[in-house]
Structure 1
C-alpha cells in the first residue's frame, strides 16, 4: 500500500469545532483514504533550526492559542506515538545525513491535532510530529521531505500542515476571497501541475502577491508544502483536492502528492 503525501491547510484552531464545507471534506478524506499504519506530520507550529520529532508513547494535546472559547481548551486528541516509527524516521534522516533530535513531553500542537481530529477522530493511529525550519531554503525543505519518501510505500501517511496564504494581519470578515489571495494560490497550482521546482523554489520572487501571501513573519505556514512535496519526489504528481477561503484571504486547501 503506497499512500499519497498531503499538504493540508489547518486554518484557524476553531476548525476543530466548526462544521463547514472544509471540515466535512477532511472528515470524508479520512474515511476515503486507505487507513495508514502511522502518520508523520510536519507542522507549521513547530519551527526549529534543528530537525525534531516526537518520541512519546502517548501524546498530550497542546492548546497553543489564546482568546478562544473555553470549549476549545477542553478538546483533546490522545493519539499514540510509536517507538518503531520514530526509529524508522530517524534512520531515514540519518541516511540523508540529517541528525534528528527526539523530543518527549511536548504533545501535539494545533497544527497537527486539529487536522487529525477531523480526519481520524478515534485518535487510534500512531502519530509522529515533525518540526519544520522556515529559515532553510525551499530546496533543503524539499530534500528533507524526500528522505521520508520510501515510508509512503510502507503505509505511512506524510502530511505537511500549514497554509499557502496565511497572513493574519490581512484577514477580514468577508464571504468572498480577495483577488490577490486567489491569484497567488492559482500561480502555485500552475507550478504544481508541472512540478516546476525552479519556479516554486523561487516563489518569493516569481509568484504574484508573494509578500502578502507569505509574509516574512509567517513563512513557517508555507514551508510544509515543500516537505510534503519532497515526500513524493519519487512520483512528482500533484492533485488539488480542495480549495476555499475564510476571512477574505485565509486559504483552506488540500493537495495530494504521489
Structure 2
C-alpha cells in the first residue's frame, strides 16, 4: 500500500528562486526527503487563472517562462517532467462529481508557480505533473471544495500542492528598495505566524473567511490570487484540519516563504 501523502502549501517566491542563495531554496531542496515518493503531482498554481477549473492535460507540458526582466540563465531553464492525461481526466471527473465545473486543457504548460519549486524538490523531473487553475473571481470556500474533491488522490500516491505565497504585496515591493536579504517587515511575519497558528489550532472556519477579515490580510494580499492555493490545500487535507509549518523564512523583506504540511 502506498503511504498517504500530506497536502502542501508552498510559497514559490520570485521566479529567480532556483538561483537564489536563501533558506527557502535550501529547504525546498531537502523537502523530497520528508515525503514518500509520489506517483504524480498535482499543483494548483496562483499563476494559472481561469473562469472555471482547468486541468492541464498535456502529455509533455512545456516549461513556461511567464515573467520578464530576470537573468538570462532563468530563461534557459526547463523542467521536462511528463504530464498525466489520464490523471487529468480523472481529476476533472472528480470535480464534476462534486458539482464543480471543470475541463481539461491539453495545451497547458508548467508556469513558474509550478516548475520553480519542483526544480528544487524533484530536480530529476521524472514524476508526472498536472497543473490546476485557480478561480480568481471565487472565494476560499470554493477552492476548499476543489481540494476536498481531490483529497482521495492522496491515498493513491498523488501529491497535492497549493503553490502561492504566504505574503504577496508586490505593490509594496515595487514601491520600496528591497533586496533578497532585506530585514523582514513585521507585517509580513506577523501575518505568516498568524496563519501557522490557525493551522496548528485546527481553526478551519477562520481560515475560510475572506482575507480582508484576517489580521493584516489586505496588507499582505491586496489581491487573492496568491493565497487561494491555501484553501485548496486545506481542502485536500481533509477534516478535522491538522497540519504544521515545515518552513518559515522571508525573501525581499516582504515575501514570507513559509511551507505548510497539512493532513498529517
TM over 0.5: yes
Aligned to 1:160: 162
2:253 matches 1:251? no
Residue matched to 1:232: 237
Deviation for aligned residue 1:2: 0.6
Q: Does the CA contact (< 8 Å) of 1:193 and 1:238 recur in 2? A: yes
SS at match of 1:220: coil
Residues 205, 215 of structure 1: alpha-carbon distance in 2 compared, 3 angstrom cutoff: closer
Structure 1: stretches of 5+ with no match in the other structure: none
8 A Cα contact 1:180 1:209, kept in partner: yes
Q: Is contact 2:139–2:210 with CA below 8 Å preserved after alignment? A: no
Aligned to 1:178: 185
Does residue 203 of structure 2 align to residue 201 of structure 1? Answer: no
Number of the residue aligned with 1:126: 128
Q: Distance in 2 between matches of 1:21 and 1:248?
A: 13
Q: Which 5+ residue runs of structure 2 have no aligned equivalent?
A: none
Classify the secondary structure of the residue corresponding to 1:170: helix
Task: State which of 81, 84, 101 in structure 1 corresponds to 2:83.
Answer: 81
How far apart are the structure 2 equivalents of 1:95 and 1:130? 17
| Secondary structure, counterpart of 2:163 in structure 1 | strand
1:126-182 per-position Cα deviation (integer Å, ceiling 9, x unaligned): 100000112212111101110000000101000000002101121223532111111
Residue 105 of structure 1, CA deviation: 2.0
Do 1:146 and 1:227's aligned partners in 2 also have CA atoms closer than 8 Å? yes
Higher alpha-carbon deviation: 22-31 or 119-128: 22-31
- CA RMSD, aligned part only? 1.3
Query: How many Å apart are 1:203 and its aligned residue?
Result: 4.7
In the TM superposition, residue 235 of structure 1 has moved relative to its aligned partner by: 5.0
* Cα distance in 1 between the residues matched to 2:142 and 2:261: 20
- Secondary structure of residue in 2 paired with 1:169: helix
The aligned residue for residue 107 of structure 1 is 109
Where does residue 138 of structure 2 map in the other structure? 136
Give the length in aligned residue pairs.
256
Contact 1:149 / 1:234 at 8 angstroms: preserved in 2?
no
1:197: how far off?
2.4
Higher mean Cα deviation, 59-68 or 81-90?
Answer: 81-90
What SS does the aligned partner of 1:2 have? coil
**CA offset digits 1:168-217 (Å, max 9, x no partner):** 1212235321111111112212211122222222253432221110103x
Give the distance between the partners of 1:123 and 1:71, measured in 2 at CA: 18
Please give the TM-score of this superposition, normalised by the length of structure 1: 0.95
Secondary structure of 1:202's partner? coil
* CA-CA distance at 1:87 after TM superposition: 2.0
